[in-house]
Amino acid sequence: MKKLFETYTLSGNHLKNRFVMAPMTRSRASEPGDIPNALMAEYYGQRATAGLIITEATQVSVQGMGYAKTPGIYSNEQVKGWQLITQAVHEKKGKIFLQLWHVGRVSSSKINGLQPLAPSALTADKTNVYIFDGAPNGDATFVPVEKPRAMDQSEIRQAIREFAEGAENAIAAGFDGVEIHGANGYLIDQFLRSNSNIRTDEYGGSKENRIRFLIEVTEAVIEAVGKEKTGVRLSPFIKFKDMDDPEIMEAIMLAAEYLNRMDIAYIHLCEADWDDAPAIPLEFRKELREKFNNTIIATGNKTPEEAEELLKNNRVDLIGFGRNFLTNPDYPERVRLNVPLNEISDPHTLFGGGGARGYTDYTFFNMKDYAGKMPPKI
């Protein structure tokens, strides 16, 4: 695993290894106000073993919120709360980017009291969000998304401003950079895809028009915080949330060319992570590498061996790991030692649930606990 443990320089940020803790929504923000808190600071601080942490998706406005108890980055109280997190990570010599999020049509008035906004007035089929309404075990209750209203020009401009203001607030909170969430069926992804964007103005129709919102958001964020502090997440092969678009690959590759000219820090690929998910074609990786010159991150339930192979062949530069960091705050060290991993202790605690339970109580590896159980050295 030599490549995984190499240091790496990301736009001036020295990373101690090539492990990235991927964004994972955990719904532990304090209410009212969707405010990051000390418990979250402990959670992220524990996982500063990663070369880079990318935070859970963080809404840039009340309108952009789609799930209960997710943190925001649009109020002074939220900025102060995030300062606890960045301080905890930096004290352990880690680096951390904040993921900027607007869910678009993936929401319900039960979450924020507002009708969802989207490129077009098309409801995402078979798509749910969650609230907390006193269900047993503190579980989240899933509710269907509501029909959105198509954004007018002024609302598009407002959303662009919100991304830029969120980026400014993130840097004020001490983050090393920001990641624009353009993946997984949320607002920017909705603009990118022809099946969720049927607009007839300059933001819809051709692929050049469908990438316009992403490009304008990225330009605004760069103007606010600098290109070296700006990354973008994309998910060309993800189809859930009713996002199956046969034209998405052409749009993604065109967007990559524009993002390359803008010289952003990285593109982060969210890749399908279920057992029977389609393999990512080698030709896609080669083409993206040709079109985008800076750092490429790939996330999607990869084994360390698969990660090492991708790095060794220069297909990507950093590898994101999600669930393994969720349950193993010392995941890189466990990989280095080839020792057992913690499993998810209670699925009820994945989203909200028991506060610290299933969140900050996952143990670090202790050799004494595994006497006689260690696998042979490879």
> Where along the chain do its domains lie?
8-370
Distance separating alpha carbons of residues 269 and 247, to the nearest angstrom: 17
Of 207, 195, 213, the C-alpha closest to 253 is 207
Judge: domain 8-370, CATH 3.20.20.70.
yes
pLDDT at 147 (0 to 100): 98
The catalytic residue among 186, 258, 266, 331 is 186
Is position 186 annotated as part of the catalytic site?
Answer: yes
Distance separating alpha carbons of residues 328 and 345, to the nearest angstrom: 11
Cα distances from 44 to residues 8, 72, 318, in angstroms, run: 20, 16, 19
pLDDT at 89 (0 to 100): 98
For the entire predicted model, the pTM comes to: 0.96
Distance separating alpha carbons of residues 187 and 182, to the nearest angstrom: 7
Structure letter (DSSP) for residue 23: -
- Tell me which residues of the chain have a pLDDT lower than 50: 377-378
The CA-based diameter of the chain, rounded to the nearest angstrom, is 67
pLDDT at 378 (0 to 100): 42
Instruction: Read off the pLDDT of residues 128-137 as tens digits, 9 standing for 90 and up.
Output: 999 998 887 7
